[in-house]
Every structure is written in C-alpha cells, then in structure tokens.
Structure 1
Amino acid sequence: MLKVAIYDDEFIVIEGLRKMVDWSKYGMEVVGTAKDGNSALELFYTERPDIIFTDIRMPGIDGLELVSKVLKEAPETKCIVFSGFNEFEYVKKALKLGVLDYMQKPITIPMIEEALQKIVFQIKKDNEVTELRSRWDENRQELLEKATLELMLGNKEIEAKWRECFGEGEAGQIIGTTVIAYSGKSFPIDNNDDYKVVPVWNGSTHLLVFFHLKEKLELFSNQLIIWTEREEVTIGSGQTYERITDLTKSYREALHALRYGRFLDSKGWTRFEDVGTNDKIPENLSAQEEAVLFYMRTGDKEGLLDQLTKYIQWIDLKKLNPDIIESELLKLVYLGLEVVKETGEDIKQSGYYPQKEIREQTTKDEMIEWLFRQMEMMFDLINGSKKTNKHKAVEKAKKYIESHYNLDITLQEVANVVDMNPNYFSLLFKEEIGLTYIKYLTKYRMEQAKIMLKEGRKISDVSEEVGYLTYRHFSEVFKKYTGMTPKQYKIQND
C-alpha cells in the first residue's frame, strides 16, 4: 500500500479527506495527519509517506517550504498542494518545486480522485522508467563483464566494444590494470576515485579486474590487505600493467599465484611477485602443461602421474601427426628440465640428450612410456634435492629475514640470497618451516613489535621499525596477530 499524509490547519479538511475518499481503491492508506508545518515535517521523517497532500498556508513552516524540504530529502515523493487563495505566484513556486498538482479550495471529492488517478499513473510511469534503467544497467554490466573476460583471454577485437561498455570517458583515464583471482563467492570492494573494479567468472574461478585511475596504488593494496585479514579468503594477484591489451598477462599470473597460494597456505594474499617464476619457461603454456609443472614443483607424484595422463588425452584430442607429437612431448621434457634447474641441478651437464632419446622410440606408445619415465626421473631428482638443500637454505634465509625484517624485503630478494628460484624456494620454505615466507616474516615482525611496545616505545616508531609504511596497516596486522590493538597491548603491558 502507498502511504499518504495530509497536512492542513483546518480540522474539517483533514477529516473530510480522510473519511470521504476511498483510499484503498487506489492502493493507498492514510498514515498520518498534521495541523502545522513543524508537525508535518516530523511526521514525514517518521512515516516516510509516498504521497503528501498539504495546504500552503500553515502555522510554523508553510506548505511550500515543507515541500522543498521533503523533495530535497526524498525527490520521489508525490506532493499535491492546495490553497484558499487564487494566487499565481503560489502556483508558479509550487510547480517550480516539482509538485505533481495544485488545487484551489474548496476541494471536492472529484478533484481529489482526479489527482489520485494522476498520481497512480505517474507512479506507474516512474516504476517503468526505473525498471528499464535497472535492466539497462544490468545488461550493460553483464556486457562489460563478458567483454572484460574476452580481453583477458586475448581477444583484441573486443576492445572497442569493451570501451563502449566501460565508458569512453573513464576508459581514457585508465593508467593500469591488475587481475585478482580468489576463492570465495563475494568481495567487499567497491568502485571509488582510485579504481573501477569489474567482477568476472571464467567458468571455474572468480576474478576481479582492477582498472586503476590514479598512479598511487596504496588504496588498492590496503583494500586487499583488509579483505584477506578480515575474511577467510585466498587470493592471487597478477602484476599491474599499463596497457589494456596486457590484461591477459596479469590474468595468467593471477591464476598462477592463486594456485600456489592454495598449496602454500589455505588463506591470505599471494602475489605473483612473491611466488616467482622461471624466466626460461614460456608464458603461453597450456593449462595442461602448467599443471604438470605445478605437481613437479609441489612434490605431488600422484598428481603428476594423473596430470600426465590428462596431458596425453589432450594430445590425442588434437589429432596431431607423429612429428608434432614428438615435438610436444619433447617440449614438456625441456620444461621439466627447467624446473629441475630451479633446485640447482642440471641434468644436461651429465650428458643427457632427450632429443636423441625420443627419436629412438618408434611408436606413439613407446614415446608416451618414455615421457612418463623422464618426468618421474626428474620428479625424483627434484625431491632428492629438496632433502639435501632444504635445511641449509632455509636456515640461511631465516637469518637474512631476521636481520632485514625492518626493510621491505621481497621473496625474490631472499631467494637470491640462497641462490634459488623464488618459486622453488617458496615451496621449500613452507615445507620446512610450516609457514609461508610472508607469514613467517609477519610473525617475526609482530614478535619484535611486542618486545618494543613492552619497552615503552612509541607506536608510530615501532610501526616503522618493524617495516610497515603506514600505522593503519601495522595496527590491523598487529590486532589480527595478538587480538588487540598496539595501544591496548601497550597499556596492558605498562
């Protein structure tokens, strides 16, 4: 039911309108009346009526001033004004304010019913416009999401359509793009002056595409930090690129980071930069090839063998000729050799020539059996190196972290110290310590912060001393780690 309020300083007018009009016939009900402007305004804030009938001349706030306040607060409210004076200036002011109708007293029932019919028609028209606008916005958003996904998948021909959906004006302001892949169903991040975010679903993974409108990315980073620290979510981020056409790179990196983030730690934010990559491995690998390398790195032999089977099925579906099959299998072996080299080993130096061996296989089945033997051999070599190098490398890394924790040290930097590929080192570190590199660094920083706060150091100084650029970030991390803010912890330990 639509809510109606009647304002008039004459009792007979209020009672007449309330009792003599069949409001229910028009889907309406009278929710309140008032005899002066101040009471009328109070009633408006209390009941929020959809329709207001008001006299112009009332004690306190007059009808026109009342309408002005109401429409400023709730412009969708339908206002009908009436007066006992036939003054053109009143009519002009009322219409300028946006009232739906103006009536001169004495008011008759037919006049009211005509006004009610006009109101019903106008509300129906407004609802239709709102619905059309909502439908257009939904369709535009859906088209934007589809066009963004196409851009990420490398379809450059869709860019013009994407710009149309995104908005030519805003598209021209974009200075960079970042893709986030995450596990979960919702995200608490909205558009703002710094960036516009487009949610995308690729059929298996939830993604957020950030289009940066300002050079400083602090707000973007802070939003992701707050999200992962407040909610049980795992996210992986690709690198930020200037060109829209490089979205596909950030997309692949985000998926890569999410996959390793899930393996390394069930919750939190994993940056592609933190996971690291092997520069000698091409970017345009198939999902099947990337999965094989993933299982080799993570030490999952069962997963590796299962993925190799899927890889062969994928090769079969492509219906390749023998020469191409040989080339594809050899490519996978060389990719595996690059993963082995991440551990510091180099099989090729010991006289290993896979290109020669594969040509000695005369049938497709022999080639496949040979591939499985090579990948298992490399898998065992990788995991043997882990056992040999693990403790020594991780201890060296820990010492470096503990002497440089107050600086902005990256996984790449620590991996360089122990002379390892960042990707391999991150897996090794988690396996040995039980924590990811980022979580270990955070834990060490928080323990040092606790010591400093107990010594009576200023919170802002402590924040800087343990490597945080902003007090807010430090405070949020500290509260999550200890269950209290730095100030509360300091007071408790004074």
Structure 2
Amino acid sequence: MKMIKVVICDDEVIVLDAVQSLIDWNRWGLTLVGTATNGITALELIKKQQPDLVLTDIRMPGLDGFALLEKLNEIESSSYYIIMSGFDEIDYYKKAIQLDVIDYLEKPISIERLEGCLDKAWKKIQTENEIKDLKQKWQDSQSLITEKKMIDLLNQTKLTEQQWNDVAGIKAAEITAVTVGVFRSNSFVEVKKIIRSFRSILDMEIFLVNDGETSVIIWLQYGDSDQLTDFLTALADLNTVIGIGSTYRNPLKIRRTYVEAHEAFKMGEFLEKGGVTAFAELNFSHKISDTLTTLEQNIIFSIRSADSERIDALLEDYLKDIKQNNVSPDVVKQECLKLIFLGLEVMKETGIEYRWKKENFVPYVELENFHSLEAIEKWLKYHFKEMLNWLKELRSKQKHISVQKACTYIDKNYSNDISLEKVASIVKMNPSYFSILFKEEVGLSYIKYITKIRIDKAKLKLKEGKSIAEVSEEVGYLNHRYFSELFKKMTGLTPGQFKKQQKSIF
C-alpha cells in the first residue's frame, strides 16, 4: 500500500498536540510528515513534502487557511484539504466548497468526527490513486509497445514500406525526412522536457525510446526541415553528449541514420565533446595509420626494456595521434586491447605466468565500458605500470642466477657457434627477454659480450705465439679477415701489430 503523507497546520499548539497524539494514524496507513503554526511555514512545508492530505486551520498568522489553499492551487498541488475552524459561518462553508475541500470540521473537534473525516479522505485518496495507477499502467503499456515497435524498426536491416506504415503511424510517402539521435539514458528526463516544448510543431513527429544504456530520439518530418535545426540548438545546451545521424529523405533508411547516430555518440563521448555531435562532421577514419603502428612497436620495446617513463610518453603520443587521425572509438579500443595482449606476450617471455591483481579481470569487458580517451589512457598506463612493476621484481630475482649460468656456459663454449637463442634455451628463457635481462646484469649486449670474451681469449692465445689463423678459428671465427677487422676495432691494433707489441714488451 502506498504511504499517504499528512501535514497539519494550526497556530494552536494544543490542537496540534491533540491531533498528533490522539489519532491512530497507522489505521489508515497515514504518515504525519510535518506540522506548521503559521501559513508561510505551512506553504514551504507542503511544497517540500508534497503531502496527500492537509489539515489546516483558517485563522493563522502569515497566511490564513484559505489563502494557503489558494496559493497551493496556483502551484497545482495535488493535495486534498480538510478545514478545521472554530467559526461556524456560512461564508466559510461557501469558500471551502469553492476550494474543493474534503470536509469542514468545527472546533472543538471530537475524535469520532475527525476519524470519520480521515476515513472519508482515505477512501477518496485511495480511489484517486487506483485511478492514477490504472492510467499510468495503460500509458506505460502503450509506451512499451511503441518503444518495442520502434526499436524493432531501427534494427530491421531490410525494412519494407508496409512494415514502416504499420509501426510509425505515418505513411512513408508522407514523410519528407528522418533523423535519429542517441544519448545516455541518464539524461532522459532533460531531453524529454525539450521534446515536450516541441510537441506543438505540427509538421514533425518525435519519438523517444529507451534502448538499454542509451536512449533514442527519432524525428519524422513532413514539413520544413529547419525546425530540426531549432531542436538541435535546444539539445546542444544540455550537459550531455548527443550523437546525431545524417538526415535522409527516405524513411526506410532509418537504420542507417540510427547506426550513424551511435557512431557519432561514441565519438562525442570519446573526445569528451558536450552537446550535439553530428556524424556528417566526423569524417571517420577506420584504419590505424602507419605512425600508430610504429608507436605500438616502440611501446612493446619499452615494455621489454622496463622503461616506465618511456612507455608513458609513448602512450601519450599514441593517443594524441589517435585524436589527430580521428580514429573511431571502436577501432581505438581494438588497438588498445591489442597493446595489452602484446604486453602480456612480453610477460610470457619470462617463462612465468603473469596474473592480474584484480580477480576475474577481463580486459576487453572493462575496456568496453570506457567512453573517453582520458579514461582509456589512465587504464592503459595503470595496467602497463602493473606489468612493469611485476617484470622488474621478477627480473631482480631471476637475472643474477640465470645470467651467471649463461656466462659460465659462454666461457666454456665461446669457440662454438653459440647463438643467443641457444643460450636462452639453456637457461630456459625467451630469447628477447633473456637478451634484455643479460644486458641489465652484465652491462653489455649479448653479442658485445661474446665478442669481448673471444677477443680477450684471442689476446691470450696470440701472446702464446699462436698464428693469427689458429687463433681466429679457436675463438670461433672461421673467416680470418673478419677476425682481424673485429680485433682491430676492439683493441685499436691488428692481430699482427698486437703480436709484435707483445714481443717488444717481452
């Protein structure tokens, strides 16, 4: 049962206390929500509480009872009124009838008389509420039917003129233009107010339907198209994003303008543009540029090198280029999701499974909920930061033991063909990950380290008096000429000059 709210107004505190304490309000499901001792306070209280029933004295300071009811009628209050008065005057009765009060109680008021009056009021309010409920249910059912039909119409890929005529209520041949707008459902009430102000336009039919998280406006024109411009101007003043599809003369193209409106809406939210975003002005690019692809590669490299500052800078460049290239939100989300999964591939290179900190985390589900570039940027930076923190912590545990094992193997096998891939497999690591880990621990890249070891060994062998050809092969270089060039590059001397120098020193 709906709660029935009551307010009592009387300048006699004794009367207020008596009515409050002696009546069993629960008997009728009544709830006393406030009392007032003067007409001005009573008016503000009633405006605030919107009671179903008002019991008021006639003579009160500020505003008398009749003046109070007249003020309430001016603001179209839906309350019912009971007059309480110590004056039995015919003029008061006439005035009470004019103001459509439920009853007129003479003071002193008996409990039986007041209870009878409350019972009468309760029955009247209940009857009125039942009628309102029935009307509302009928209106809701009609609205739901209309909404369902219109949503079905919007989703028809092959719409016939007969289907249109059955649903729209206006023959397709009579319509001069159709346009669709999309906005977030939390702005439904504001948009509805503007629609009401345009209902008087005789040559435009406007439908407003809910479509889940978004709502849809459908404009059907059969007259001057400039009136839509006036409508859009009014909508632009709202603090919400509204995507508008192109206007088509053929109403059977309603789905096309609907799809375009969704695209415009997503782009408006994505770029955080308030007001109206028109699809015709977007010039969408649905392909990622070469610049963005290069940035993606650089971001992945920065993940491998665990360069947090570099990644943040690259992400900012990445998203800046997205804005400049006017890439559609769906494509951006796909590319950002690809970045996350590329990052996860880097994590896999460690040989250890990376686990998200958030339980039941599904990247694409979370990413889909973002509607602005700023939100996506924060999301990307946060997850890359988490990945890098995990990577750095793991490396500090892994690199010393793994790299030491690799160096021991290299020292014993430097004369053989020991590729990075082969040594990485020995320490059970991904080659790319091992390469970065190796440089962090040793201070040299894998190739430079191998070269240094071989040249150091070559120096010792040359000191022993071995020939350049023998030394070249023993340290792993079958091409003697290449060995000589590499030796000079590393030491500043050719192998022959190095041998002569050693003899002179000896």
Q: TM-score range by the shorter chain?
A: 0.3 to 0.5
TM-score using structure 2 length:
0.44
Larger Rg: 2
TM-score using structure 1 length:
0.45
